[in-house]
Amino acid sequence: MARKSYLFTSESVAEGHPDKVCDRISDAVVDAYLAVEPHAHVACETLTTTNRIVIAGEVRGPETITRDHIVDIARACVRDIGYEQDGFHWKTAEVDVYLHAQSVDIARGVDAAGNKDEGAGDQGIMFGFACRETGVLMPAPIYYSHQILKSMAEARHSGAQPDLGPDAKSQVTLLYENGKPVRAASVVVSTQHSPDVSIDDVREIVRPYVLDVLPEGWMCPEDEFYVNPTGRFVIGGPDGDAGLTGRKIIVDTYGGAAPHGGGAFSGKDPTKVDRSAAYACRYLAKNVVAADLADKCTIQISYAIGVSKPLSLYVDTHGTGRVDEQKLESVLSELVDLSPRGIREHLKLDRPIYARTAAYGHFGREPEPDGGFSWERVDLVDALRSAFG
């Protein structure tokens, strides 16, 4: 029997977190290639540490994108995030680029040729999830964790909060009763700050952003509100801790409220099903819930490298479904071609829309006019309702 009353926690990290700096740079490289060649292949990894950025991986795309171009992209990302500190500065950091041509063996398996459709870029499993806990059909703990940091970052960029630094983390624990979130049991926010403010000052700077994000009456007890619990946090970002692309896969998805296949998103072009198929799973799950066919939905897809057809599609509505799950699997497969090419074409993923995904989650965002976050659309609702009468 499912538990009805419990605590559940999710965390988020800000755009200035060392790992997120890396995700931003890697996705900006993907965007640079797709802006010139929509069918470019990119697998880009970034490492950051004190005043050093290392970019490595493999690409197949236009030679007009040179090493100097990649260096400029990295510096622009760091500048936009806001790092101008002695140990990590957009202008003075050393940038090393080790991008090379894509393996011919991988290219042979992935490319379409003759009667062979384009194959998956790797084997693996991908998951998507949606639920009714928030208006954007995301689990509440991760959604509020993201929103706290996003609102703080907006205030920092606007100049409204000049004492906040780029590096920050949040963690929200919600109390669930009868399976639904009812209030925050604890909130943790750690944020980089200027040396001119005290720990008490930082606490009061942070407080209104938490209050504004949480629903009215949901604020945790005062003794469960933790701001910079270790104390001073002046040295932050890659100067304080090394960063790597792809280390925040739970932050990027559902905050632990749903399964994860293990593959990271950032730095990968949409031929990599780690990214595109995870987006497709979210798209399908969100439309199932939006169509009122279930209150909660998990979808899994699996692939083999070089094979275009998915090996499996699994739907779980967690006992909340109002339709047959086996039939739902069949209907979803008919509505969307889940081959790598089919996903890319349906969601129009061959566009430079990825740098914006690198912080505050890939899911639960608003679809944008230029095609950003296209996987958040709910344009299958009518077809799904029609299929089930």
Same domain assignment for residues 359 and 314: yes
Same domain assignment for residues 128 and 268: yes
pLDDT tops 90 at residue 123: no
Question: Does the active-site annotation cover 247?
Answer: yes
Question: Does the active-site annotation cover 11?
Answer: no
Give the model's pLDDT for residue 107: 54
Same domain assignment for residues 170 and 259: no
The total domain count for the chain is 3
In a domain, 39, yes or no: yes
In a domain, 302, yes or no: yes
Q: Which domain holds residue 87?
A: 18-110
Question: Does the active-site annotation cover 242?
Answer: yes
- The annotation status of 362 as a binding-site residue, yes or no, is no
Task: Find the angle CA(33)-CA(37)-CA(43) to the nearest 5 degrees.
Answer: 40
From 11, 15, 19, 295, the catalytic residue: 19
Q: Which residues contact 309 (CB under 8 A, 6 or more apart)?
A: 339
pLDDT in tens, 330-381: 999 999 999 999 999 999 999 999 999 999 999 999 999 999 999 999 999 9
Question: Does the active-site annotation cover 45?
Answer: yes
pLDDT tops 70 at residue 105: no
Same domain assignment for residues 315 and 360: yes
From 20, 156, 286, 362, the catalytic residue: 20
Give the model's pLDDT for residue 111: 59
- The annotation status of 169 as a binding-site residue, yes or no, is yes
In a domain, 81, yes or no: yes
Same domain assignment for residues 315 and 250: yes
In a domain, 300, yes or no: yes
End of a domain among 215, 237, 259? 237
**Tokens of residue 125, six digits:** 């499993």
In a domain, 116, yes or no: no
Give the model's pLDDT for residue 4: 83
- The annotation status of 67 as a binding-site residue, yes or no, is no
Confidence of residue 115 (pLDDT cuts 50, 70, 90): very low
- Chain Cα centroid distance, residue 223: 31
- The annotation status of 348 as a binding-site residue, yes or no, is no
- The annotation status of 241 as a binding-site residue, yes or no, is yes
From 15, 31, 45, 295, the catalytic residue: 45
- The annotation status of 322 as a binding-site residue, yes or no, is no
Question: Does the active-site annotation cover 58?
Answer: yes
Same domain assignment for residues 280 and 317: yes
* Whole-prediction pTM: 0.95
- The annotation status of 377 as a binding-site residue, yes or no, is no
In a domain, 368, yes or no: yes
In a domain, 294, yes or no: yes
Q: What are the Cα distances from residue 358, in Å, to 102, 166, 353?
A: 23, 14, 10
Query: What distance in Å separates the CA atoms of residue 389 and residue 385, rounded to the nearest whole number?
Result: 6
Same domain assignment for residues 279 and 227: no
Question: Does the active-site annotation cover 248?
Answer: yes
C-alpha closest to that of 9 among 359, 363, 361, 256: 256
Give the model's pLDDT for residue 119: 74
CATH assignment at residue 88: 3.30.300.10
Average pLDDT rounded to a whole number, residues 302-328: 95
Percent of the chain with pLDDT over 70: 96
Question: Does the active-site annotation cover 309?
Answer: no
From 56, 76, 107, 242, the catalytic residue: 242
Same domain assignment for residues 24 and 154: no
Same domain assignment for residues 274 and 128: yes
Give the model's pLDDT for residue 110: 61
Same domain assignment for residues 267 and 128: yes
In a domain, 119, yes or no: no
Question: Does the active-site annotation cover 268?
Answer: yes
Same domain assignment for residues 206 and 303: no
Neighbouring C-alpha atoms within 13 Å toward the C-beta of 175: 12
Are 225 and 210 in contact by the 8 Å Cβ rule? The answer is: yes
pLDDT tops 90 at residue 306: no
Same domain assignment for residues 102 and 232: no
pLDDT in tens, 19-62: 999 999 999 999 999 999 999 999 999 999 999 999 999 999 99
pLDDT in tens, 129-187: 999 999 999 999 999 999 999 999 999 999 999 999 999 999 999 999 999 999 999 99
